[in-house]
Amino acid sequence: MASTIRVRATSSGETTEVQALIQHPMDSGFVKDVKGETIPPHFIQELTFEYDGKSVFVADWGAAVSKDPYVKFSFKGGKKGDDLKISWVDNKGATDTTTAKIQ
């Protein structure tokens, strides 16, 4: 299965800028479908970025994060060609993990 996570990590020498786009419905639990039935909440709760065995960024998300969430941050260090590991877990216990090469 294709990964739900798309990442672009670019090193500028001193810092690495990371942009991630994840496919996820991020249902808040407040929206009704066409039949008038409430769509149950389904959203990513934790998103972790690891580099060199250490977390460089951890996001705790609520249902107010937009569908197909996007996040951008940067960290010091990170060499071109090195791996960045990204993983998420949602409120139903589903997870996905991917590894991206720093460019």
Partner 1 sequence: MTTTHDGYLATRRLILKGAVTVALVGLGNIPFSLVPTFAAANDKYPEDAFKAKSDADAIKSLYGKTAEPSDKVKLDAPEIAENGAVVPISVSTTLADVTSIALLVSENPNALAASYKIPTGTMPSVANRLKMAKTSNVIAIVEAGGKLYSAAKEVKVTVGGCGG
The site for partner 1 (CB under 8 A) is made up of 15, 26, 28, 30-32, 45-46, 54-67, 69-77
> What is the number of other CB atoms lying within 10 angstroms of the CB of residue 99?
13
User: Among residues 3 and 59, whose Cβ is nearest to partner 1?
Assistant: 59
Q: Give the CA distances from residue 16 to residues 5, 10, 61, 88, 102, in Å, rounded to whole numbers and listed in that order.
A: 18, 5, 23, 20, 8
Residue that the structure tokens 């690891």 belong to:
50
User: Among residues 50 and 98, whose Cβ is nearest to partner 1?
Assistant: 50
Q: C-beta of 71: minimal distance to partner 1 in Å? A: 5
Q: C-beta of 103: minimal distance to partner 1 in Å? A: 18
User: Among residues 1 and 93, whose Cβ is nearest to partner 1?
Assistant: 93
Q: C-beta of 98: minimal distance to partner 1 in Å? A: 19
Torsion angle (degrees, nearest 10) of CA 102, 16, 94, 25 = -110
